[in-house]
Amino acid sequence: MTDFATEPDFDPYAGDARSGVLPSLLPVQEQTLELVAHLAAYSDMLVVVSGPDGSGKTLLAQTLTERRHAADDALLLTANNMLGMPALLQRIAAHWQIQLPQELPAARELISREAQQRAEQGGHLLLVIDQAEQLDSETLNDIAHFALLVPQALSIVLFGQTGFEQAL
């Protein structure tokens, strides 16, 4: 888990969002991003990044996904209180352009198998969830458990406000 803050006058939205260009990261953010990217790539664990409002978490989440080698290697989701495990699996399935069964256990199994097959072909999905503090504790625990099923094929990074990780 990484907890960080940025310079007090840093504006993470200073870049031109309409052009798709993200603002530059501060040196401490670059270091944090390198650490998070390394943990996501080489750890079998769920990666959690927390910090106060305005500390640059969303910018880090966006930059982390933008810097992936291939577009299908990363999926950035913004959490809300309606994002549960079924919706999360559906978003992954849509990203991979596969159909999911309606039943949650079967959907979870299909995503796990698909991730494993993609890993055998050299694929690896980085799933980044921003504003994870909006997820309920059951969903956070489901995500943590799911992250352990196919760690060589799927990495999950949660970004949220300080303290949300206590629900894990």
pLDDT tens-place string over residues 104-143? 999 999 999 999 999 999 889 999 999 999 999 999 999 9
Six token digits for residue 59: 């910018």
Position 4 scores a pLDDT of 41
Total-model pTM: 0.84
Checking if the pLDDT of 87 tops 80, the result is yes
Give the DSSP letter of residue 18. Answer: G
Q: How far is CA 111 from CA 90, 92, 106, 167, in A?
A: 9, 8, 9, 25
**Helix residue ranges, H only, 18-160:** 27-42, 57-66, 85-96, 104-120, 137-149
End-to-end CA distance of the chain: 12
Contact 47, 61 (CB under 8 A): no
Six token digits for residue 146: 């799911």
Position 15 scores a pLDDT of 44
DSSP lists the bridge partners of residue 160 as 50
DSSP lists the bridge partners of residue 155 as 126
- Could you tell me the pLDDT band of residue 13, with boundaries at 50, 70 and 90? very low
Position 44 scores a pLDDT of 84
pLDDT tens-place string over residues 55-76? 999 999 999 999 887 656 899 9
Q: Is 64 helix (H, G, I), strand (E, B) or coil?
A: helix
Residue 16 CB contacts under 8 Å (≥ 6 apart), including other chains: none
Kindly give the interhelix angle for 104-120 and 137-149, rounded to the nearest 10 degrees.
Answer: 40
Mean pLDDT, rounded, of the chain? 85
Contact 74, 64 (CB under 8 A): yes
